[in-house]
């Protein structure tokens, strides 16, 4: 069985070991060592990365009590050979920030009546699922502030082993599922939890803890958060992006949000005005299009690309089919289209679109003498096909 060095010294980022066996893990070359500082994925904490004998370690997994270091390529060392290994220390440190930060956040959420159900650590954003119902934004703010305060107070974090008999007296937040010897992680005076992960020695190096958003997942609330380096990178990126916008708007960073809200409202108002003005022009537009109908014996057809929104296109087509024996097919360059046929032509439009437009990739629906849809890419072919179909059916 591999000796797990990170249990006793989580700051051990370089070590020597002996190759115990080589094999494969899920199709990739893997190696087992007599001892390791690599943390295998577990308890929500991601696996460590690094190198063994110069070969990149892309994953580390526990299977049947064995620790497999998954490698980018086979190791140039045989069973029994000594190897030198090095962890990606920055990644491990960030994992320790996330993990200790999560214990702290979970403890503060519990004080407010929200127990942690499960946790997951991502690259930048991590999550914890809470039971206990919905969370107000005031409460989230309060928890976030309190967690940061406790981080900045640099409270010691201790790890100790306990037997099963000692457990009840410890008042654990998270009770273990395995039987035997228990590894307890304690934030002094605040939280005790059974955990096999790697943590910091105090809350200070967690750095900033930022709650990012909340999502309802089944009956639980999922909290997205970032700690330390992850929080720093996300906040730096956000501030940079906001500053860029502020510069463009020649405003201060914190004036951007109200200014953008104003712009959105303004643009919605303008859109409504433009749309109402364009609607007033539709009868004139309809009159102009009169000359563009192709009249064959029995009916007139207009197939035309139109610059405007679907609703407007629909109204225009309605105006144009007010005269008898007409078919109007309009499309916008977004691929949306409308088709109207005068009722007295008694055309089955379901069959018409199925035979002419659908084979060209268009989609759509409607009822009676009206159809509309999208996905039209080749308007000239579509228009020709519709016209030919009508001529054929109407005996022209
Ligand atoms: Zn932990």
Which pLDDT does position 372 carry in this prediction?
Answer: 94
Whether 261 maps to a domain, the answer reads: no
Distance (angstroms) between ligand 1 centre and the Cα of 167 equals: 17
Ligand 1 centroid–CA 131 distance in Å is 19
Q: For residue 337, which of 348, 356, 347 has the smallest C-alpha distance?
A: 356
Q: Give the tens place of pLDDT for each residue, 21-34.
A: 999 998 999 999 99
Model pLDDT, residue 394? 85
Q: Do 131 and 216 belong to one domain?
A: yes
In a domain, 58, yes or no: yes
Of 54, 87, 120, the position where a domain reaches its end is: 87
Q: How far apart are CA 327 and CA 336, in angstroms?
A: 17
Residues of the chain falling short of pLDDT 50: none
- Residue 185 Cα to ligand 1 middle (Å): 7
Q: Identify whether residues 111 and 62 lie together within a single domain.
A: no
What whole-number distance in Å separates Cα of residue 355 and Cα of residue 352? 5
pTM, 2 dp = 0.74
- Compute the distance from residue 45 Cα to the ligand 1 centre, in Å: 8
pLDDT of residue 310: 85
What pLDDT does residue 170 have?
Answer: 85
pLDDT (0 to 100) of residue 393: 87
Residues 66 and 177 in one domain: no
136/227 same-domain check: yes
**272 in any annotated domain:** no
How far, in Å, from the CA of 36 to the mean position of ligand 1? Answer: 19
Verify that 56 and 130 share a domain, yes or no: no
231 shares its domain with 291: no
Kindly give the distance from the C-alpha atom of residue 260 to the centroid of ligand 1, in angstroms, as a whole number. 42
Residues 120 and 183 placed together within one structural domain of the fold: yes
- Give 96 Cα–ligand 1 centroid separation in angstroms: 9
Q: Does any domain span residue 267?
A: no
Q: Looking at residue 175, which CATH number applies to its domain?
A: 3.30.980.10
pLDDT digits (tens, 9 = 90+) for 175-222: 766 656 788 999 999 999 988 889 999 999 999 999 999 999 999 999
**What is the domain extent for residue 82?**
3-87
32, 60, 279, 281 from 40: Cα distances, Å:
12, 5, 65, 69
Q: Are residues 100 and 31 in the same domain?
A: no
Counting the structural domains of the chain, the total is: 3
pLDDT at 243: 96
Are 57 and 124 part of one and the same domain? no
Q: Are 26 and 148 in the same domain? A: no
Ligand 1 center from residue 195 Cα (angstroms) = 5
**Ligand 1 center from residue 359 Cα (angstroms):** 58
Residues 171 and 121 in one domain: yes
Q: Which residues contact 244 (CB under 8 A, 6 or more apart)?
A: none
Q: Separation of 121 CA from ligand 1 center, angstroms?
A: 11
Do 199 and 312 sit in the same domain of this protein? no
Do the domain assignments include residue 54?
yes
CA of 70 to the centre of ligand 1 (A): 23
Q: What is the pLDDT, as a whole number, of residue 196?
A: 86
């Amino acid at each position: 069985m591999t000796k797990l060095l990170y249990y006793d010294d989580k700051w051990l980022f370089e070590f020597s070991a002996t190759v115990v066996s080589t094999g494969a893990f899920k199709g990739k070359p893997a190696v087992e060592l007599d001892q390791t500082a690599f943390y295998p994925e577990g308890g929500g904490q991601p696996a460590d990365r690094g190198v063994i004998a110069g070969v990149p370690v892309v994953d580390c997994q526990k299977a049947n009590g064995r620790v497999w270091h998954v490698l980018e390529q086979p190791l140039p060392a045989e069973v029994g050979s000594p190897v030198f290994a090095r962890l990606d220390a920055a990644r491990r440190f960030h994992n320790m920030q996330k993990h200790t930060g999560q214990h702290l956040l979970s403890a503060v959420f519990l004080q407010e009546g929200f127990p942690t159900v499960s946790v997951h650590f991502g690259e930048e954003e991590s999550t914890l699922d809470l039971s206990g119902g919905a969370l107000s934004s005031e409460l989230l703010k309060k928890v976030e502030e309190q967690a940061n305060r406790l981080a900045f107070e640099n409270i010691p974090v201790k790890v100790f082993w306990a037997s099963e008999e000692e457990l009840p007296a410890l008042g654990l937040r998270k009770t273990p599922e395995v039987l035997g010897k228990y590894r307890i992680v304690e934030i002094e005076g605040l939280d005790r939890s059974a955990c096999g992960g790697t943590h910091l020695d105090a809350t200070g190096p967690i750095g900033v803890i930022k709650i990012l958003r909340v999502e309802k997942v089944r009956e639980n609330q999922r909290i997205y958060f970032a700690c330390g380096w992850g929080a720093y990178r996300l906040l730096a990126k956000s501030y940079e992006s906001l500053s860029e916008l502020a510069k463009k708007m020649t405003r201060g960073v914190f004036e951007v949000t109200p200014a953008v809200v104003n712009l959105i409202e303004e643009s919605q108002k303008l859109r409504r005005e433009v749309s109402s003005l364009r609607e007033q022009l539709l009868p004139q537009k309809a009159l102009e299009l009169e000359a563009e109908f192709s009249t064959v014996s029995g009916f007139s057809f207009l197939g035309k690309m139109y610059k405007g929104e679907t609703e407007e296109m629909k109204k225009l087509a309605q105006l144009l089919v007010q005269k008898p024996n007409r078919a109007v097919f309009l499309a916008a360059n977004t691929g949306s289209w409308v088709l109207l046929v005068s009722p007295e032509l008694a055309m089955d439009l379901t069959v018409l679109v199925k035979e002419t437009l659908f084979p060209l990739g268009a989609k759509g629906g409607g009822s009676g003498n009206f159809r509309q849809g999208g996905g039209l890419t080749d308007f000239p072919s579509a228009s020709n096909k519709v016209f030919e179909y009508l001529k054929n059916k109407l005996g022209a």
